Amino acid sequence: MKDMEEKVLSIIEEHEKNGDVYQTRAGIIARVQGQFPEITSDEISLILANLSQSGNLVHIGNEYAITDTRYDEDRLARMIAKVIRCNTPSRLIDAEHAVSTVESQLGFFLSQSQQDAIVGALSSRMAIITGGPGTGKTTVLRALCDAFEASQGKDTSIYLMAPTGKAARRLFEQTGRPASTVHSILYAQRHNEESIQADLIVVDEASMLSIPLLAELLGNTKSDTQVVLVGDPDQLPAVGPGQVLKDLIASGLLVYVLTDNFRQGPESILADNVYQIRNRYTSLTYDQDHFALIESESSHDTEQLALSLYLSLRAQYGNQVQILTPVGSAGGVCSAARLNKLVQSHLNPHTPQKLEVMVDETVYRIGDRVIQCQNNGVARNGDIGTIVGIVGDSSITVQIRFDFGDDETVCYPISELEHSFLNLAYALTIHKAQGSEYDYVIIPLCKEHIFSWSNNMVYTAISRAKKRVILVGSRCVLDRGIRQPLPPCRSKLADKIHQYLTAKEKAV
């Protein structure tokens, strides 16, 4: 029975990554029997009762939730309701004067929506800044930090964070200020056993925050810390429980929307189409130089055409060309796993003279593009680089030169690369690409993936491109994906925030 309990609990925990805090009994039974058909429905029901009794799960009606996650949801709702009731910062800031000072330093005037966002954030205990591609979020991030520093002095403490390592590194590149992952800040805080000593916390890519992550972050900040969440609620949500940014926007927390489009000229076709997709309109503007759709007869043709386009563009533009697909390690036509092998076989094939090594059934060769999939002290989950050396006989070391920083080489013993630490990076899943940008993006649209696409998935994929998008395959798949909303996750965060606000009002 203990072994079966562990199997059931692991499946519940795995499904929680899809966003559901609450899972129905029927859904759990179906997922468990999908992987372990030998476990009967009665046995699963008994296991659910045991897990509830032992405190691993909370049983509410016909739904179950992991106890810690439900506690985090309730705790986060209480904290947000408290902020909404009194959203005035403890420190006095002349926000408009600070923004004026920063504009003088920048040498240009911010747009009205940018000014409103910065003044509003500086005047609040907690606020959200949102906007699509090309609306000037990067400028706002820099100006916000500069304005806060201008008003509080150089000794003020500003913490820049992002949910992933790649997003944190990009935040550093955009602002010129140190940036960390939320996880790394919380890890350090647990060891220091004191609140995060920040006067201002700015979290970029906030759509990727899960309920437990934001609950722990807010629960460990000082009472006078100002918090600004920056993100796009139309991108893919976190790989974890909840749809936090969307729920917070709906909760009544202060939200500032950047509305100006700073991408003008021919490249504005991209921004215009992103806007259309965001609003689920399938009438897009196609242009061979910036936004192209090349239709194909079969999924095999789609795969081969995507491969051909990638090899051709990469010969011209190098690493600024990226294939993005909704399917990764599951494999199959047009998956990241299969496309990576196809690209490798053409771009970096086996030769007797070229060193190579096998890790987790994947062959890596000198010259391969790779992505790190876990954080460590050297690089972050999502960092991409090139294998520049494979050395050693009895103890093999793989040398990688990452795209960030100087031409420094990182050396990994082969034992550290096991268990999906590394993957080929010619093709990436859209989830992995979130928080990154590329000049040229190729997106295969094959019919086998028709149910993998949603509006958020299409929007996120296309908004990764800075110069050109090439869609290859089925227009039917594209149109359905644009129209298909992301399935709602089973979370009660928004309802709980409303309940706590209402309860306080009644008490008053």
Q: What type of residue sits at position 199? A: D
Q: Are the C-beta atoms of 178 and 172 separated by less than 8 Å?
A: yes
Q: How far apart are the first and last CA of the chain?
A: 51
List the beta strands (DSSP E) in 131-290. 158-162, 179-181, 200-203, 226-231, 255-257
Q: Of all residues in the chain, what percent carry a pLDDT higher than 70?
A: 97
CA 418 – CA 215 distance, rounded (Å): 32
Residue 505 predicted with pLDDT over 60? no
What is the overall mean pLDDT for the chain? 90
User: Among 37-41, 165-169, 209-213, 290-294, whose mean pLDDT is lowest?
Assistant: 165-169
> Checking phi first, is residue 124 left (phi over 0); if not, alpha (psi -120 to 50) or beta?
beta
Question: What is the CATH topology of the domain spanning 267-483?
Answer: Rossmann fold (3.40.50)
CA 323 – CA 465 distance, rounded (Å): 11
The pLDDT value given to residue 508: 41
Q: Are the C-beta atoms of 401 and 408 separated by less than 8 Å?
A: yes
**Radius of gyration over alpha carbons of the chain, in Å?**
24
CA 136 – CA 114 distance, rounded (Å): 8
Spans of all domains in the chain: 1-66, 92-262, 267-483
Residue where the block lists tokens 């992933």: 164
Residue where the block lists tokens 């008053």: 508
Tens of pLDDT, residues 92-129: 788 888 888 888 888 888 999 999 999 999 999 999 99
Q: Are the C-beta atoms of 137 and 111 separated by less than 8 Å?
A: no
Q: Are the C-beta atoms of 158 and 200 separated by less than 8 Å?
A: yes
Residue 233 predicted with pLDDT over 80? yes
Strands 384-391 and 397-402: antiparallel
Q: Are the C-beta atoms of 229 and 244 separated by less than 8 Å?
A: no
CA 79 – CA 357 distance, rounded (Å): 50
Edge-first strand order for the sheet with 57-60 is 22-24, 63-66, 57-60
| SS3 annotation, 447-485 | HHHCCCCCHHHHHHHHCCEEEEEEEEECHHHHHHHHHCC
- Of 126, 121, 375, give the one whose Cα is nearest residue 244: 126
Tens of pLDDT, residues 337-392: 999 999 999 999 999 888 889 998 899 999 999 998 887 777 777 888 999 999 98
The pLDDT value given to residue 267: 59
The pLDDT value given to residue 89: 87
Q: Please work out, in degrees rounded to the nearest 5, the angle formed at the alpha carbon of residue 15 by the alpha carbons of 64 and 240.
A: 100
The pLDDT value given to residue 191: 76
Residue where the block lists tokens 């940018």: 114
CA 117 – CA 122 distance, rounded (Å): 9
Cβ-Cβ contacts under 8 Å for 408 (sequence gap 6 or more): 401, 402
Question: What is the CATH topology of the domain spanning 1-66?
Answer: Arc Repressor Mutant, subunit A (1.10.10)
Residue where the block lists tokens 């991409």: 384
Cβ-Cβ contacts under 8 Å for 331 (sequence gap 6 or more): 337, 338
Residue 298 predicted with pLDDT over 80? yes
CA 398 – CA 365 distance, rounded (Å): 9
Give the confidence band of 483 by pLDDT, cuts at 50, 70, 90. very high
Q: Are the C-beta atoms of 20 and 66 separated by less than 8 Å?
A: no
- Of 91, 31, 92, give the one whose Cα is nearest residue 64: 31
Residue where the block lists tokens 């609003």: 279
Q: What is the mean pLDDT of residues 403-430?
A: 87
DSSP 289: T
The pLDDT value given to residue 177: 92
- Of 227, 205, 246, 283, give the one whose Cα is nearest residue 84: 227
Tens of pLDDT, residues 128-174: 999 888 788 888 999 999 999 988 888 899 999 998 877 888 889 88
CA 356 – CA 216 distance, rounded (Å): 43
- Of 21, 72, 57, 434, give the one whose Cα is nearest residue 242: 21
CA 340 – CA 307 distance, rounded (Å): 9
Homologous superfamily of the 92-262 domain (CATH): P-loop containing nucleotide triphosphate hydrolases (3.40.50.300)
Phi then psi dihedrals of residue 188, to 5 deg = -65, -40
Q: What is the mean pLDDT of residues 25-37?
A: 93
The pLDDT value given to residue 428: 96
Give the confidence band of 263 by pLDDT, cuts at 50, 70, 90. low
Give the confidence band of 261 by pLDDT, cuts at 50, 70, 90. confident
Cβ-Cβ contacts under 8 Å for 279 (sequence gap 6 or more): none
Torsion sign, CA atoms 290, 275, 479, 207: positive
Q: Are the C-beta atoms of 418 and 359 separated by less than 8 Å?
A: yes
CB atoms within 10 A of CB 198: 20
CA atoms within 13 A on the CB side of 235: 28
Two domains, one topology: 92-262 and 267-483: yes
Q: Are the C-beta atoms of 312 and 441 separated by less than 8 Å?
A: no
Cβ-Cβ contacts under 8 Å for 261 (sequence gap 6 or more): 134, 135, 268, 271, 275
